[in-house]
């Protein structure tokens, strides 16, 4: 089998496709953060209180402490916005990628798509083990392996 000369390097087209991929994910984070920021009634409370994961006790403890819940709300909203800006514009994108991975990991752990932990039949985007959160988390992990796409 013949191997291409530069099989280990990324072509310019591949790099730009990954950059566009990063920008799209950044837009999603930014949009989610802005929607939460503009909604005066938004809180992570219902998301946390309904968690069915092995960390549900921890999430319910956060809800039971109004000051901590307020901090979590602020971290969530401004974290989404800052991660989104970093990914969208490529400013401090490496930090944004790793922060996004961490945030999505918290979301995934709060609502793992495992049998018996859901609220009935699978809904669109909520499947066994692999859900939308897991896919976006995996996409950020993939981007983290291409540092050239984080500097453009």
pLDDT tens for each residue of 12-51: 898 899 999 999 999 999 999 999 999 999 999 999 998 8
Return d(Cα 38, Cα 138) in angstroms, integer: 28
Contact 62/45 with Cβ under 8 angstroms? no
Neighbour-count burial of 132, counting CB atoms closer than 10 A to its CB (0-12 exposed, 13-18 middle, 19+ buried): middle
Per-residue pLDDT of the chain (152 residues; tens, 9 = 90+): 444 454 568 888 988 999 999 999 999 999 999 999 999 999 999 999 988 889 999 999 999 999 999 999 999 999 999 999 999 999 999 999 999 999 999 999 998 887 555 555 555 655 778 889 999 999 999 999 988 887 76
Indicate the pTM of the whole model: 0.85
Average pLDDT, the chain: 88
């Amino acid at each position: 089998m013949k191997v291409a000369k530069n099989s280990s390097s990324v072509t310019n087209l591949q790099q730009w496709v990954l950059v566009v991929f990063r920008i799209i994910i950044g837009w999603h984070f930014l949009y989610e953060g802005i929607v939460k920021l503009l909604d005066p009634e938004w809180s992570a409370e219902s998301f946390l209180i309904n968690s069915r994961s092995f960390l549900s006790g921890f999430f319910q403890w956060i809800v039971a402490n109004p000051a901590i819940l307020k901090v979590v709300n602020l971290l969530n909203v401004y974290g989404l916005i800052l991660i989104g800006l970093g990914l969208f514009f490529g400013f401090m994108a490496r930090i944004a990628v790793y922060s996004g991975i961490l945030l999505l990991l918290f979301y995934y752990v709060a609502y793992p798509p495992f049998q018996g932990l859901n609220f009935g039949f699978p809904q669109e985007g909520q499947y066994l083990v692999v859900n939308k959160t897991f896919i976006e988390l995996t996409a950020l992990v993939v981007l983290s392996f291409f540092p050239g796409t984080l500097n453009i």
